[in-house]
Structure formats: structure tokens, C-alpha cells
């Protein structure tokens, strides 16, 4: 069983912002894989859906705790579903990567991403896998990062990035992380 967690902030005011690319990617993946509808699981502090690919069950989660407290929800999800940390895949925006790039990393620090750091702190480990979606652009350098990640993006720019990231997740599930890393880095 795998747990795929898309990071973002709940609420209409945060929709279509850079910080919600994790949410959007997992939602697209959910549609592409004919997953169940997302349902709020209050105890798990998340919207949760699931699907099966081959013989493997995939749990999809969108924490409703806000980005900087994502670890609270992930800890509950890991405990409830009894997920091995190596089967946790977190999908999120990454200011340190060029817009449109994807980097799949395992067992690396939060590198300043507060949502990821919250997960590391809550789990006491960083051995999980991250699908990091690049959002760095010329415009980003003109305003503080905290403000940039909450700005609305242009749908035409972001849609191919979300599709590419969903394809990377599908490739990793089908052929393994190493092959997906080679294909999408």
C-alpha cells in the first residue's frame, strides 16, 4: 500500500496558488486513476480517496491542516493506515527548482519547505519520497517567498506541469522510483 499526500492549503482563497500544486496534482492523478471521490476524514485531518493499481492499494490524501501543519495530518494517516514511511510519497511545490521541473527525492531534508519540515518533525524521519514541483521564476525573485507561493498562477503555465507530475507518479508506481527519476529529471 502507498500513501500519496498532496500538500496545499484548504479553502477557496488558496485555490490556484503555487503552494497548492501538490493538491492539484493528486486531484488530477485521482481522476486519471478512477479513484473514489475525496471525502473528509476529520480524525485524519484530511480529504481522502483511494484507488487500486494492479494489486496495490493507493491512498490519496489532501491534508486540511494548512501547509505549515501538514505533519499533523500525515502522522494520523500513517498511523491509521499502518503505512511504512518508505511507502509515503509527498507531492509539493519547490521554490528551489526551475518552474516546470520535477525532482523525485528520497530521504532528504525539508530544505526550508515548511510543510515538508512539519512532516519530518511529526514523523521523526525524512525517509519518505518527495515529488518536488519546481516553481522558481524571474518574478519570484522580486517578492518574498512567503508571498509568492500564495499568489495565483496562470492556468496555461501550470496545467502541463501538473500533468507531467502525475505522469511521473504513474511511472514510479509502474516501473519504480529509479526509472521515474531517470525519465523525469
Active site residues: 19
3-state secondary structure of 2: strand
Angle CA(105)–CA(166)–CA(139) in degrees, nearest 5? 75
Sheet with 2-6, strands from edge to edge, namely 39-41, 46-53, 56-63, 2-6, 88-98, 129-136, 102-106
Cβ contacts of 65 within 8 Å, gap of 6 or more = 45, 46, 72, 73
Amino acid at each position: 500500500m502507498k500513501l500519496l499526500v498532496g500538500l496545499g492549503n484548504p479553502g477557496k482563497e488558496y485555490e490556484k496558488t503555487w503552494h497548492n500544486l501538490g493538491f492539484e496534482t493528486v486531484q488530477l492523478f485521482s481522476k486519471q486513476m478512477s479513484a473514489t471521490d475525496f471525502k473528509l476524514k476529520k480524525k485524519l485531518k484530511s480529504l481522502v480517496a483511494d484507488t487500486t493499481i494492479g494489486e496495490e492499494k493507493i491512498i490519496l490524501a489532501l491534508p486540511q491542516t494548512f501547509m505549515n501543519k501538514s505533519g499533523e495530518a500525515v502522522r494520523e494517516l500513517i498511523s491509521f493506515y499502518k503505512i511504512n514511511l518508505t511507502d509515503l510519497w509527498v507531492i509539493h511545490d519547490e521554490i528551489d527548482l526551475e518552474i516546470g521541473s520535477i525532482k523525485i527525492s528520497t530521504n532528504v531534508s525539508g530544505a526550508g519547505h515548511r510543510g515538508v519540515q512539519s512532516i519530518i518533525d511529526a514523523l521523526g524521519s525524512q525517509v519518505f519520497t518527495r515529488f518536488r514541483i519546481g516553481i522558481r521564476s524571474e518574478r519570484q525573485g522580486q517578492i518574498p517567498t512567503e508571498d509568492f507561493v500564495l499568489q495565483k498562477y496562470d492556468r496555461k503555465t501550470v496545467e502541463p506541469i501538473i500533468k507531467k507530475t502525475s505522469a511521473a507518479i504513474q511511472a514510479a508506481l509502474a516501473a519504480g522510483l529509479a526509472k521515474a527519476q531517470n525519465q523525469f529529471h
